[in-house]
Amino acid sequence: ELVTSSGTAKEKSLIRNCIEHGTTQIIVGTHALIQKKVEFFNLGLIVVDEQHRFGVLQREAIGKKGLTPHVLIMTATPIPRSLALTLYGDMNVSFLDEFPPGRMPIETKLFYENTRDAAYHLLEKEIKEGRQAYVVCPLIEESESIDLKAAIDVSDELKSRRLPNFKIQLIHGKLKKEERQTIMAEFKNGGIDVLVATTVIEVGIDVPNATVMLIEHAERFGLAQLHQLRGRVGRGKHASKCFLITSHALTDDGKARLNAIVKSRDGFAIAEEDLRIRGPGDFTGTRQSGMPLLRAGNLLRDIKLLELSRREAIDLIEQDPQLEAPEHVKLKDILHHTFVNQTNLMKVI
C-alpha cells in the first residue's frame, strides 16, 4: 500500500485498516506514515530513504510503531549525528562507492558575486550546444528580511536580460502537483532550456540532457542538499558542471563547507567534513549537528582510541551490566545525572 497525505478520508481509512490488521505486508509512504493514526500489525523492518530529510523525533516515532523492528537507513550524505554513530560502532555500515556505468564526472566550481556573470556565461554556452540547465534558489519570492536572490526574480532576469532567446520555466513547491509534473515532463522532453527552481528538484529527477546545475546563494544550503542537487546532473553521456555562487562575506566554516563540495564527489567524504565542521550533534537529544554534551577527543582523528574505548565499554557492561561493583558506582552516578531521561533518543539512528 502507498501512504501519503493525499486521498479522501475514506481511502485513507481503508489503507490504515489494512496496515493495522496485517493484510498488507509492504507499506511505502511519505512522512504521513509517522502519524499516530497509522498503526502496524507487526512491524519488522523499517527502510528510511533520504535519511537526512527526517528529524530525530520523526525517526523515533516510526521506530516506536513496532516492538523491536530492524532499521535500514539510506543516504548519499549521512548527517553528522548518524555518521558519528557509525564511528562509535553503533551501526553496521555498507558503502556503495561506485557510480552507475556510463556516468560522466561532474566539475564543480565556486563563484562569488563579482564573478556571477562568468558562471551564467558558461551556462549559456552549454545551452547553445543543445544541453539543458537547472538554476536553484533558496527562496521562491524576495524577502524583506533576508537579502537573497529569489527564484521568481532570477527567472524574470533570465527571461528579460540574460537568456531572452531560450525557454525559461519556473518550478517550486507552491505549484499544484499536476503543474509540477507537467513542467518536469516538458523539461525532460527538451521543451525547456533552463529550469529555475527551489529544492523541489533535490531528489527523484532524472534528465540525462541536463548538464549544468547552478546554485544561487550556495552558502544557504546544507552539504547534503548541495550534494543531492549536484546529483541531478551528470546522468547522461555529456560532461556536467555544478556552479556554486556565494557571497564574499563567508565565515571560515562556510568556506570550508563549500570547498568540501568543490573538492569531492564522495558523499561519505563530504559527510566527514560536515561532521568535522559542525560537530556530531547530541546523541541523547534532537540536535543532528553541533557540539555534544559528552566531549572526548576528535571522532575522526582519534578513531583508534574510539575503537579501544568501545571495546572497554562492552567488556565492562558484560562483566557488570548494572554497574553495581564498588569501583563502578561513581560512573553509574555520573551517567545517571548526566543522561537521566535522555536515553530513549540514543536508540534513534
| pLDDT tens, position by position, 281-299 | 666 655 655 556 556 666 6
Q: Pull the grid cell for residue 303.
A: 578513531
**Residue 136 near residue 143 (C-beta atoms within 8 A):** no
- What is the pLDDT, as a whole number, of residue 284? 60
Q: Note every long-range contact of 328-331, with CB atoms under 8 Å and residues 24 or more positions apart, other chains counting.
A: none
**Does the domain formed by 106-265 have CATH 3.40.50.300?**
yes
**Residue 270 near residue 106 (C-beta atoms within 8 A):** no
Angle at which helix 267-278 crosses helix 223-230, to 10 degrees, equals 160
- What is the pLDDT, as a whole number, of residue 287? 60
What is the residue extent of each domain of the chain? 2-87, 106-265
Residues in the chain with pLDDT < 70?
52, 88-90, 142-148, 281-301, 340-349
What amino acid is encoded at 112 in this protein? Y
- What is the pLDDT, as a whole number, of residue 6? 80
Q: What is the pTM of this model?
A: 0.78
Largest interatomic CA distance in the chain: 80
What CA–CA distance (Å, rounded) separates 97 from 119?
30
DSSP code, position 160:
I
Which is nearest to 235 in space by CA: 271, 258, 201, 268? 201
2-87 shares its CATH topology with 106-265: yes
What amino acid is encoded at 15 in this protein? I
Which is nearest to 321 in space by CA: 303, 335, 337, 342? 335
Q: Pull the grid cell for residue 174.
A: 507552491
Residue whose cell numbers read 516506536: 64
- What is the pLDDT, as a whole number, of residue 263? 94
Q: Which CATH number fits domain 2-87: 1.10.3470.10, 3.40.50.300, 3.40.190.10, 3.30.110.70?
A: 3.40.50.300
**Residue 206 near residue 236 (C-beta atoms within 8 A):** no
